[in-house]
């Protein structure tokens, strides 16, 4: 899967609240989509100061399109490298 590699709110461009593009694609490449999902959810909590958008993000992404257990594995890998 092609991933952004630094998928977070500051790297998403919106135009009238609609997705328009990405910036900062230095870490873009082939990887596991769960890496971007993990960092998106982390960024929502960090940048907005709440976890209340986590489930909304999962619903919009499609809960059938990712493995919640894999997010825990990615979290450990990304945080403790």
Cβ pair 57, 36 in contact under 8 A: no
Cβ pair 34, 64 in contact under 8 A: no
Report the DSSP beta bridge partners of residue 72: none
- Smallest CA-to-CA distance from 69 within 60, 61, 77 is with 77
Q: Which sequence positions are flagged as catalytic?
A: 6
């Amino acid at each position: 899967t092609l991933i952004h590699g630094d998928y977070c709110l500051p790297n998403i461009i919106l135009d009238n609240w609609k997705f328009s593009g990405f910036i900062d694609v230095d870490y873009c490449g082939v990887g596991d989509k769960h890496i971007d999902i993990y960092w998106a959810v982390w960024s929502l909590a960090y940048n907005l100061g709440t976890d209340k958008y986590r489930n909304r993000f999962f619903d919009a992404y499609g809960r059938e399109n990712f493995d919640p257990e894999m997010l825990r594995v990615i979290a450990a890998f990304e945080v403790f490298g």
